[in-house]
A and B are shown apart, each in its own frame.
Chain A
Amino acid sequence: MRRKAKVCLIGATAVGKSSLVARYVSSIFSERYKTTIGVKIETHAVSRGEQTLELVLWDMSGEDEFQNVQPSYLRGASGYLLVIDGTRRETCDVAVTLEARVRETLGTVPFVAVVNKSDLTAAWDIRPGDLEELGKRGWSVVLASAKTGAGVEAAFDRLADAILGRKS
C-alpha cells in the first residue's frame, strides 16, 4: 500500500531546516524552487514493509520577529519536525512556542523535535537539563547533524513511524 503524508519542518530562523531536508532528500528540485513565499516543497518516500509512505515535506521559513509561520501552510499536515539549533538556546524557546501554536492549528499530531548541529557539541548552548525538560513534555527528541548526516534519517524515520502508527 502506498500512502502520502504532508509533513512540515518548522523552527526558528537558521536552525538548519533546509539543510536537514537537503541531507534527507537528494534532489535538485529544491534548488530550482527556492521560494520567496515562505515555503519550499520536497518529496521523499519511506518504505516500511509492504507500506510506502510518501512524505511531502513543507520546509517553512524560520520563525522570527518579522515572519510568523502561516497557519494555512500547516493545515492538513500529518506531522512535523520541530527543529532546534543546539548552539542557540533561544531556538529551544521558540520551539516551545511554535509547538503550542501548531497544536492550536492542527490539534495533536505526531512530531519529532530535532536538535541540529550535533557535530558542534563543544559549542552547544543547550544544556542537558534543557533536553530533559523537553523529554518531560513528552516530546520525542533526536540529536542530528545536517552537516554530517548523523541522526537525520533517524529523525524522519521516527516521524514516519509515528504517522503510520497513528494512521494504521
Chain B
Amino acid sequence: MAQPNEQPAKRRFRRARRAPENASQSLEQLRRAIVGPEQSRIGKLEERDVVTPAAVSKVLPGAAAELRGEEREELAVALEPVMTSVVGHVARRQPEVFIEVLTPSIGAAVKKALSEALSAMMDRFNLVLERSMSFRSIRWRFEALRTGRPFAEVVLLRTLKYRVEQVFLIHTPTSLVLQHVAEPALGAQPADQIAAMLSAVDSFGREALGPLPHGAHLDKFQFGDLSVWVTRSAVVTIAAVVRGAAGSDFSDTIAEARTRIEVAHHRAFERFSGDTAPFGPARPELELLLQTKLVTPPRRAHIWLSLISAVLLLGGVAFWSRGHARHAQEAELRAKTLEVLAAAPGIVVTGVEWTPEHHRITGLVDPLAPRPGELIQEHGLPPVETVFSPFLSLDPRIVARRNAIEIEKAAEELRYAAASLDEIVVPFDRDQTKIDPAAEPAVFHAATEAENALHLAALEHRRACIEVDGHADASGDYGRNLRLSGARAREVRRQLEAMGVEHEAVLARGAGITGGDSEARSATLHLVYGDAAKICGVTP
C-alpha cells in the first residue's frame, strides 16, 4: 500500500518491481517508470514544427500588424537602428533608387518648406508688432521700469505659456541621475539631490497616503507657476521641471520620450552599475523636451495690427514716392542748370551746393561771357545763387569775340583821329608860303594827330597816309594861286617831316582857289586809309 505522500515515480517503480515478466520488459517498464514523463515531453517537443525563417516570415507581418500603442512604438524604436543602417546602405550602393523615389516629391517638399518658412516669418512679424505696438506692450514697459527688470524678460514672462527648464533621466531602482539637461540660464543644478528627493517624496507619499493602487506614483506636483512632471517605469524615470501651464499632452510627450529611451538603451539599463556614460546618446532626446511655448496673440490683434501695418506701409510708400519724385525733380533741375552753364562760353563751374532748401553754384566767368544768373533765368530755370569770379577765358568763341571788340575799338579810334585831323587848319599870310610863327602850334598839333592816326592805321594793318591840301584865295592870278597853294601844302609837309612824320606818309597837294576870305589862305590835313589809300603810294 502506497503511502499517501509517496511520489508517483516511486509508486511506478514499486509496481514494476512486482511484475518482472522478462528482463527486457522489466527494463522497459523501469525506463517508463523513471523517465516516462520526460520522454513524453521530449516526444511532444520533437513533434513541434521547427522554427525556420520561412515560418517566421509567415507570422511576422501579421504579428506586426496586430501591435498597438506602446508595443508598436517599442517595435519601431527597436527597428530604427536596423532601418537606418539599411537606408544608409541602399543610399550608398544604389543612389539612383533614392533619386527615383525622391524626385516626384522633392518639388512639393521644397514648396511646403518655403510656405512654412514664410508663414513662420509672418507669425514672428505679427508677434513683434504685437509686442512692440500694443497697449499691453506699453503696460509691460511700465512694469519693466517699475520693477527694474529688462523689458525682454517682462515680455517673455507675460507671453510665456510654458517653458521646460530642466529634464532628468533617472534610473528608477537607484534614483541616480543618468542624464540631466537644463536651460543654460539656470546654471549648475544639484541634479542628483533633486532626483533622489523626487524618489523619496514618491516613496513617502505612497507609504504615508497608502494604500495606493499598483503602479500609482507621483506624476506631477506644483509650486506656484513651477511644476514637475514625472513619468516612470520600473527601469527609467523622466522628470521635467516646467514653468507655466503645460497642457495635458505634455504628459504623453515625456512618456513617449521615456519609452523611446528605454527601448533604445535597454542593454545599457540592464548592465547599469553606476556608470552614466552609456546614456550620453540619450541627451538629444531629452533636449527635444526643453520646449518653450508662447501665448499666441488673439486673432483680432492680428487684424488690428495688420490694418495699422497696412496704413503705415502705404503711408511709408507714399512718403517715399513723394520724396523720391522730389529728389528726382531736384536732380533733373540741377543737371539742366549745370548743362546750360557748361554750354555757355567763358563760364567754368567749380562747385555746386544743391539741397532742397538751397541752390548755390560757384565758378569763374569771363567778362565777355553771359552772366550766369541771367543765363539760368533766360532758360526758365529756378533762381540759383551764383558766385563767380572774373577770369580771362581761352575759349575760342570768347577769344574771337575779344578780338572783334579790339578791332572795332581800333577802328573807332582811327575814325576819331581822322576827324581830329580834319579839323586842323594851318593859316598863311597873303601871298606867303612860309608858316607864320603864330601858326606853328597848329602845325605842331597837326604833326601829333598825324602820327597818332598813322599809328592806329598801322595797328589795324591798314594802308594810310596824310593828305595835305594847300589853299589860296581868289585874288590875283589863278595860275599863281594854284602854285601858291601847292607851295603851302609842301611847306606843311616839310614841317611835318621835320617833326617826325615820315615823308612817304604825307601827300602834299595844291588844291587851288577855295574861297575869297582869309580862311582860304591855308593848308588842311586829311587822313586817307582803306581803299582810298591807293593814292598814298605807301605800303602799310
Interface positions of A (Cβ within 8 A of B): 1-6, 29, 33, 35, 37-39, 41-43, 53-54, 56, 58, 70, 72-73, 75-78, 167
Contact = CB atoms under 8 A, between A and B. Distances in A.
Contacts of B192: 4, 41, 43, 54, 56
State which size class the interface on B falls in: 20 to 34
B206 interface: yes
9 contacts: A1-B275, A2-B275, A4-B174, A4-B176, A6-B174, A6-B196, A43-B192, A73-B200, A76-B175
B179 to A, nearest CB: 12
A78 B175 CA distance: 11
A72 B173 contact: no
Contacts of A42: 193
Given A5-B274, A43-B193, A56 B176 contact: yes
B42 to A, nearest CB: 37
Given A35-B200, A56-B192, A76-B174, 11 more contacts: A5-B274, A6-B196, A29-B193, A37-B200, A38-B200, A38-B204, A53-B274, A56-B193, A73-B200, A76-B176, A78-B174
A78 B172 CA distance: 14
B274 A33 contact: no
Given A2-B276, A3-B275, A6-B174, A58 B204 contact: no
Contacts of B171: 76
A73 B203 contact: yes
Interface string B189-207: 0101100110011011011
A28 B87 CA distance: 53
A77 B277 CA distance: 20
The list of the 3 closest CB pairs from A to B, nearest first, reads A76-B174, A3-B274, A72-B203
A82 B275 CA distance: 25
B206 A6 contact: no
A76 B193 contact: no
Contact of A72 (B174, B177, B207, B274): B207
Residue among A41, A53, A77 with most chain B CB within 10 A:
A41
B296 interface: no
Given A29-B190, A54-B192, A2 B277 contact: yes
B273 interface: yes
Contacts of B175: 6, 56, 76
A78 B275 CA distance: 13
A28 to B, nearest CB: 11
Contacts of A41: 192-193, 196-197, 200
A33 B193 contact: yes
Nearest to B208: A37
A37 B196 contact: no
Contacts of B204: 37-38, 70
A81 to B, nearest CB: 16
A58 B203 CA distance: 13
Contacts of A39: 197, 200
A113 to B, nearest CB: 23
B495 to A, nearest CB: 137
Contacts of A2: 275-277
Contacts of A56: 175-176, 192-193, 196
Contacts of B172: 76
A9 to B, nearest CB: 13
Given A70-B204, A72-B207, A167 B274 contact: yes
A75 B196 CA distance: 12
Nearest to B178: A4
Contacts of B201: 37
Contacts of A76: 171-176
A34 B197 CA distance: 11
B451 to A, nearest CB: 125
Nearest to B196: A41
A62 to B, nearest CB: 16
B214 to A, nearest CB: 14
A6 B277 CA distance: 17
B190 A43 contact: yes
Contact of B177 (A4, A33, A70): A4
A70 to B, nearest CB: 6
A6 B200 contact: no
Nearest to B205: A37
Contact of A58 (B196, B206, B275): B196
Contacts of A35: 197, 200
Contact of B273 (A29, A58, A77, A167): A167
Nearest to B202: A72
Contacts of B173: 75-76
A146 B467 CA distance: 151
A3 B196 contact: no
Contact of A4 (B200, B206, B276): B276
A80 B200 CA distance: 16
Contact of B176 (A6, A38, A73): A6
Contacts of A72: 203, 206-207
